[in-house]
């Protein structure tokens, strides 16, 4: 009986650790969407746009990788301002933000992009703003 209880406790702890690791990974993916400044878009639109990533060529992915790396290296004045804003957020506001970003990060899992290069993904996400309204509606329909 003691062994069963220990095994059950071990199982709970390992599941907790797995959940926490997944949450960290999804949060990091959600932050990519936030960096691209498209986190205000409907989830369906973001998902449709992510699904479209599979249809682009390797050459385009390489150019997105270059754009993404430039964004990672560049620390703009707006990002410094965001850091200050985050320091003034309450615990509940930070928790709510993390919850939203984890939900957005889960879209990468749905689109099977969670293991792709983050530089190329953020470079691709930056391009969303350049899309016209018709394309964005198409992404929303695909996401639905």
Alpha-carbon distance of 128 to 38, in angstroms, equals: 8
Token pair in block for residue 132? 């016209």
Q: Answer left, alpha or beta for residue 131, where phi above 0 means left and psi between -120 and 50 means alpha.
A: beta
Q: Does residue 144 have a pLDDT over 60?
A: yes
Alpha-carbon distance of 97 to 66, in angstroms, equals: 28
Task: Write down the pTM of the prediction.
Answer: 0.81
Give the mean model confidence (pLDDT) for residues 110-125. Answer: 92
Model pLDDT for residues 10-66, shown as the tens digit of each residue: 888 889 999 999 999 999 999 999 988 899 999 999 999 999 999 999 999 999 999
Give the mean model confidence (pLDDT) for residues 67-88. Answer: 70
């Amino acid at each position: 009986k003691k062994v069963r209880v220990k095994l059950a406790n071990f199982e709970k702890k390992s599941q907790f650790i797995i959940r926490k690791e997944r949450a960290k990974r999804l949060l990091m993916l959600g932050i990519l969407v936030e960096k691209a400044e498209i986190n205000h878009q409907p989830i369906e639109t973001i998902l449709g746009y992510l699904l479209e990533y599979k249809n682009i060529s390797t050459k385009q992915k390489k150019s997105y990788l270059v754009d993404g790396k430039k964004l990672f290296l560049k620390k703009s004045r707006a990002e410094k301002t965001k850091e200050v804003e985050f320091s003034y957020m309450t615990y509940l506001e930070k928790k709510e933000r993390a919850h939203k970003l984890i939900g957005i990060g889960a879209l990468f899992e749905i689109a099977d992009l969670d293991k792709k290069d983050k530089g190329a993904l953020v470079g691709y996400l930056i391009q969303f703003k350049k899309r016209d309204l018709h394309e964005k509606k198409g992404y929303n329909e695909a996401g639905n």
